[in-house]
Amino acid sequence: MRRLSPLVPALYILFVMLPIYWLLNMSFKTTNEILGDFTLWPREFTLENYITIFSDPTWYMGYVNSLAYVTINTVISVTAALPAAYAFSRYRFLGDKHLFFWLLTNRMAPVAVFALPFFQLYSAVGLFDTHLAVALAHTLFNIPLAVWILEGFMSGVPRQLDETAYVDGYSFPHFFVRIFLPTIAAGIGVACFFCFMFSWVELLLAKTLTAVEAKPIAATMTRTASSSGYELGLLAAAGTLTIVPGAFVIYFVRNYIAKGFALGRV
Amino acid sequence: MNKTVNHKAWFLVLPVLVLVAFNAFIPLMTVVNYSVQETFGDNTFFWAGLIWFEDVLHSERFHAALVRQLTFTFTILAIEIPLGVVIALTMPKRGIWVPVCLVTMALPLLIPWNVVGAIWNIFALPEIGLLGQVLNGLGIDYNFTRQPGAAWFTLIAMDVWHWTSLVVLLAYAGLVSIPDAFYQAAKIDGASTWAIFRHIQLPKMKRVLTIAVLLRFMDSFNIYTEPFVLTGGGPGNSTTLLSIDLVKLALGQFDLGPAAAMSLIYFLIILALSWIFYTLMMRDEER
Amino acid sequence: MAKITLAGVRHSYGSTRDDRADWALQHLDETWEDGGAYALLGPSGCGKTTLLNIVSGLLRPTEGRVLFDDRDVTDQPPDQRHIAQVFQFPVIYDTMTVHDNLAFPLRNRGVDETRVKARVREIADMLELTDMLGRRARGLTADGKQKISLGRGLVREDVNIVMFDEPLTVIDPHLKWQLRSKLKELHQRVGLTMVYVTHDQTEALTFAEQVMVMNEGQVVQIGTPVDLFECPQHTFVGHFIGSPGMNVLPCTLEGGKAVVEGHAIPIANPVTSAAGRLEIGVRPEFIDLADRGAETGVPVEILKVSDAGRYRVVHTCLNGFVIKALVSEGVEIPADGARLALAPEKTRLYADGWLVPDGGTP
């Protein structure tokens, strides 16, 4: 039993990696090979699919657009969530519990429900097809999450820290920026990670709110797949490239993942 | 925890409030607006009362989608939560394998959802996919684009692949926060592996597991992109979950009234169930 | 109940074992008598917790054997050794009631339920937990939780030894004293072998009949609290026990007397020759202060006087070396300078930190 137990995570990792391997495998094949033979690895190894993506602006601009709105969203979400999370972790105020739950309900809102009203709203305020539109729309589910995560981390910091700082003559903004934020740096990192993650993987809103200028890579993929028929190799290559930013981010936060997922207090 | 009463704290919450209200309140009102009106497609609207709500609540189409949705949600919860806990329990707690496990397991979480659908599409296709070829090679007749059973199997497998890691990471975070002294005391007390799990590990994981159940519940109810890319809701309507049905209704047929009414009913269901989870969780924390 | 013997025990956590510093425990040959109350005293990182874990079986020593009543238990896991341990932070099973917590070790061993009930009641009475038996354990205060941890150990009838790993760390100061006397009382009542690990000398000296002082992975002295105070075997013990600690001054040896800065000082251990770094050690309690005009004694400057309640600590200075002396209330302290008289029977010679044996080293 004990000796068999490492097998469980090993098998799970195999299960996780197999579909990703298959994607990678296809991205290096020619269309002929994909449709012709069933092969476990590329017989005619080709970089053609990747070259297409990096030389065609409609493709590579998709990545730029995605990264742009994800970054803007992360900055807005975490910046707005910080003072709110502090309020929830330190003070009791009129309607605080209801407000917290109301925030969380937005995390539950089915995005499909909002697709059409969002389109109308952002068209009306003239933000349609901009990075800012997607970034703002994604705050709908990222701000509640960021508040939730940060509140957990802040509650782990003893109140004595605040009190000592006030006794020492710090003003609130000064204390907050110079002392408090460095103390919960890990929590901010984790919140950024989650905001990045959920903004990067979301497609429905991003696609609804953009047309040409700010079109995300994921949307480019779906259109290519439907319009030019079976360009599976190209699709696979584009898909592989969407995994790269995520893999980078995980690699950087790998030492914080375990602690961060505890959301500050267990 | 003894917090001080300070109503000025509202000012700190204000930016969040404005942003979320802009994104949540206005669209929600638009939906409510549609749900009580009738349109004939020329941008004129008439008051329709609660007729759409009655329609939706009595519609077999909605019932079927709801049943499919509940089946899907409870199936994936029943698989992902225990599986995630078992994997977290068997994962190494220290050493070089820890970051390797964490990084590879977290990978599916950061793949755009339509790409997840695309990956499983090409992985499971009977002609060119590894899974399809292997299953058919084993003599199992498998084609998820034609057989409802195979489509469901693929859909569940995809969601397990996509989201079990979240449960693993949450459960693992709960586990590593248990001080060694607890395991040492249990050893001295002669506790069995099961007793250690039941009386030490499970209670310490309770909070993170509640979060896991809550997140998985909400997200699986909202799932749209992955099944849309994988099966498009088919074959037939066999994998048409609530969100897919809703988008078909709203954007495909442009039946805004019924679609809006359905949205609200759907939202209220999630809200009610989540509220139950939330209050249970908070009550437990305060005790 | 059992006699515990440690035979040639050494331990290293790392894989390299060349250097002295690689060993968390240097070398240990020790016997703890059945029914004794022992304390392991030393600063953080001195190896006392390592030693405790070796006895409990949570660690297997790199070298050496552990014997319980001459039975070799080195390879036995903790649950077969019949030991009890109370940790620094209270370990309780959150979801269970106080009663179930106490019953847990018995139920794990398949003890009959009526027997479990009787035994839990008995232990709860002893620890004054009876009226809390039905409550959830997580709601208790830190001292209540520590009592439960202890109770889980005592509830078993086959316990060989109870070990405490700094059990009062998280207890409020005013309850520390109560719990400490409770432990002492329990020891007299149940007559179990008990080992108490701490870095606090008051806790060690009040609890134990025998105190083992450890430093840098080795035992520097074992003895009764009085031994440790009156006759430190090592300058470390002199420093670590007592407040303020022992005065230690570099010296040379001439004709059986120590010479400090040109002043001959008689010493208690009869020594003719000694090698190594020589020092004399004398506790502030054994130094008398006389004024400048006295016939004998070492002339010193007075730096400052601090009040410590019933006595005062006089900080004096001899050519840059600080010597502290205790002076009772009411004794006049000269302002400009003084002469110190070191009690000859309490002043000892140390070589490389260790007490020089009678006759000295060649």
pLDDT tens-place string over residues B103-121 = 888 889 888 888 888 888 8
**What is the structure's pLDDT at C331?**
76
**What is the structure's pLDDT at A227?**
43
Domains of chain C, CATH where assigned: 4-237 (3.40.50.300), 245-360 (2.40.50.140)
Residue-averaged pLDDT of chain B: 83
Predicted complex ipTM? 0.84
List of chain B residues whose C-beta atoms are within 8 Å of the C-beta of residue C95:
199, 203
Chain A nearest CA to B145, separation (Å): 16
pLDDT band of C42, cuts 50, 70, 90? confident
In a domain, A144, yes or no: yes
Joined together, the tokens standing for residue B149 give: 């059973």
Tens of pLDDT, residue by residue over C154-185, are 888 888 888 888 888 888 888 888 888 888 88
Shared domain for A78 and A19, answered yes or no, is: no
Shared domain for A152 and A177, answered yes or no, is: yes
Shared domain for A7 and A126, answered yes or no, is: no
Shared domain for A211 and A83, answered yes or no, is: yes
Whether residues B19 and A260 touch (CB distance < 8 A) is answered with no
Shared domain for A69 and A188, answered yes or no, is: yes
Chain C nearest CA to B20, separation (Å): 38
List of chain B residues whose C-beta atoms are within 8 Å of the C-beta of residue A87:
9-10, 12-13
Q: Is C93 within 8 Å of C102 (Cβ atoms)? A: no
Does residue A226 surpass a pLDDT of 60? no
Q: Is C256 left (phi over 0), alpha (psi -120 to 50) or beta?
A: left
Interface check C13 vs B, CB under 8 A: no
Sign of CA dihedral C167, C173, C179, C185: positive
* CB proximity list for A87: less than 8 A, separation 6 or greater: A93, A96, B9, B10, B12, B13
**What is the structure's pLDDT at A228?**
46
Shared domain for A29 and A121, answered yes or no, is: no
Interface check C111 vs B, CB under 8 A: no
**B186 exposed, middle or buried (CB, 10 Å; 0-12, 13-18, 19+)?**
buried
Chains A and C contact (Cβ–Cβ under 8 Å for 3 or more pairs): no
SS3 category, B46: strand
In a domain, B273, yes or no: yes
Chains B and A contact (Cβ–Cβ under 8 Å for 3 or more pairs): yes
* pTM (predicted TM-score): 0.80
Whether residues B122 and A99 touch (CB distance < 8 A) is answered with no
| CATH code, domain with A61 | 1.10.3720.10
Beta carbons within 10 angstroms of residue A256's beta carbon: 15
CA angle B268, B273, B279 (to 5 degrees): 120
State the chains in contact with B (3 or more Cβ–Cβ pairs under 8 Å).
A, C
Does residue A260 surpass a pLDDT of 70? no
Separation of alpha carbons C172 and C176, rounded Å: 6
Shared domain for A158 and A103, answered yes or no, is: yes
In a domain, A266, yes or no: no
Does residue B156 surpass a pLDDT of 90? yes
Shared domain for A18 and A108, answered yes or no, is: no
Shared domain for A74 and A178, answered yes or no, is: yes
Q: Is B278 within 8 Å of B214 (Cβ atoms)? A: yes
Does residue C361 surpass a pLDDT of 70? no
In a domain, A52, yes or no: no
Whether residues B274 and A105 touch (CB distance < 8 A) is answered with yes
pLDDT band of B40, cuts 50, 70, 90? low
The domain tally of chain B equals 1
Tens of pLDDT, residue by residue over C217-248, are 888 899 898 888 888 999 999 888 888 889 99
In a domain, B252, yes or no: yes
Compare all CA atoms of chain B with the CA of C103 and give the residue at the minimum distance: B189
SS3 category, B5: strand
pLDDT band of B61, cuts 50, 70, 90? confident
Residue-averaged pLDDT of chain C: 85
Tens of pLDDT, residue by residue over B174-184, are 888 888 889 88
Joined together, the tokens standing for residue C57 give: 């079986």
**What is the structure's pLDDT at A186?**
80
Does residue C153 surpass a pLDDT of 90? no
| Least confident range of A168-182, A233-247, C16-30 | C16-30
The domain tally of chain A equals 2
State the chains in contact with A (3 or more Cβ–Cβ pairs under 8 Å).
B
In a domain, B27, yes or no: no
| Over residues C316-327, mean pLDDT | 87
Q: Please state, for a pLDDT cut of 90, what percent of chain B lies above it.
A: 13
- Strands C348-351 and C25-32, sheet pairing: unpaired
Chain B nearest CA to C109, separation (Å): 7
Tens of pLDDT, residue by residue over B42-56, are 566 667 667 777 777
Domain residues for B216?
A: 57-286
Tens of pLDDT, residue by residue over A88-118, are 888 888 878 778 878 877 777 777 767 778 8
pLDDT band of A265, cuts 50, 70, 90? very low
> Could you give the dihedral angle defined by the CA atoms of residues A4, A6, A9 and A15, in that order, rounded to the nearest 10 degrees?
-60
Measure CA B108 to chain center. Answer: 14
In a domain, B124, yes or no: yes
In a domain, B39, yes or no: no
pLDDT band of B86, cuts 50, 70, 90? very high
Q: Is C37 within 8 Å of C88 (Cβ atoms)? A: no
Shared domain for A214 and A170, answered yes or no, is: yes
Interface check C78 vs B, CB under 8 A: yes
| Over residues B205-217, mean pLDDT | 83
| Over residues C89-93, mean pLDDT | 87
Beta carbons within 10 angstroms of residue B75's beta carbon: 16
Shared domain for A237 and A209, answered yes or no, is: yes
Domain residues for A39?
A: 1-46
Does residue A193 surpass a pLDDT of 70? yes
Shared domain for A141 and A20, answered yes or no, is: no
| Over residues A187-196, mean pLDDT | 87
CA angle A251, A257, A261 (to 5 degrees): 150
Cis peptide bond prior to B235, omega within 30° of 0: yes
